[in-house]
Structure 1
């Protein structure tokens, strides 16, 4: 399917309220629409979501988005439904069963255009068969590096994605497949391409991964008390709102409580918090109730706040690749932002 640049620009302005495409977006959309298979490797905050949102408007049927970032799902659904008038729903473990059932009914009856699903849902044979029966025209693999054993965050559940893609392809040979990631080296890229290229070759679009608006720095901090001291100093000095990554739930609570005692609007955010409370905290942070949120690395990745002005790593990140992805949550609006690591050599033992 080939669509003119002029028509795509009209949709971009009228449906999405954007004046122009970012670098590489138009080319990626054209490749996906014409060639059906694309792996797109772009930096965080580069506008990868548009690469499936616009094709969704153009295609019949449903777009299936498989993503491990549950908090990001909620933000996407809210934006799609309220801002872009694209009905969307999700199936994931953070929702009550009645919510998941409502999403299934909406998908079966054609009331939504985009369905978000957590990869773990594919382990359930009934859910797998349910998805297979839907009129899916585009399947999107978010955080696509997770399907590769060479990826920094390999997840066994992602292996089910390959089975689903192959089953959907047998049902509909013209189905489109889009892989999205901000962190895939060439070895990981080759593995993803090999897995997704069973019948149709996968094209790759790799963008410059530099984020020049983010200033990176490291502060040597010895021990918990010294780190907390620097947290207070940095928050008072840095403008805007920020995210503090912690490697443990305990540290998120310690950091949040310390900040609260310093009259800093802060809250902890980790997997031990009830699902409804997590949604509430995330919405409050995005709306500006809190200046900082202390989050574990996995949950912090799901926070979609484009104007985060700083990221502080209270503990050393798990890897360079993980750090790139985590610090990339800052400055997604293109304005200056800071990424700071509080370094203690003993963190390597965590």
Structure 2
């Protein structure tokens, strides 16, 4: 620990679409195993969105929360040396200075996963129209989403990390790259490595994979008012859409959303910042090591099938068939 009188607190601030759901589920389900080794994932929740929203929305003082966490850490019969908290929505905030009081009680470290920006944009649109929790984005078309992509300020990693460095010091920032080749043992092991648990040894993984729907099914779901449904109903309808997606995906295979020239232009915008991050934290020029997609890979703009007949056959009928099948089981 940096200060022998304080415990370490690792705050995982994001970003989205970097296996955060699986990470949180794994940390939560392995609570006892982690605690036995001196790591505490506190408050009995998978995701610490509530406590951080309360602080960042001025409903609670970070000093009071930090004091409570420090008291809980010393109350355990096992000696706790490290606490870990996680909420990817933190990364959407432009100013995290309200978290500074945590430093009075802990050696604060920030964990920050980085996915290549072009891939992140594709995944973030698909996730928004699938999950439908944000009214501004849940029914947005792909072209409109891309036209407004400047709002996603947190994927300017150089600028965002500079803000974190100003608050907590560069030596306390733990960024890592969300790429297969840079996570040879997977994303959960890569995450655990940031707080000192090498390879996530002894942890049972949970949470599965929160995959995006393919472009055609994403466009279909985008037109559905899932956001109006209660959460349980919404999740059930998403599962129905995933069944349709598997059928469509088997026919078409994965396709990209961003045209190749536009993709290169997007990454050119982030090139200098990504290089700065790579040099500061990894001692190299390239932040992301995997190449951009080959020009021969197919690209599509999300669209519904061209005719009403095809729409019914490919989307509506399979969706209703699966829905009816599940509804019948529930009513028995």
The TM-score, its normalising length taken from structure 1, stands at: 0.35
Report which structure shows greater RCO (CA 8 Å, sep ≥6).
Answer: 2
- The structure with more helix, counted as a fraction of residues: 2
- The structure with more strand, counted as a fraction of residues: 1
Larger radius of gyration: 2
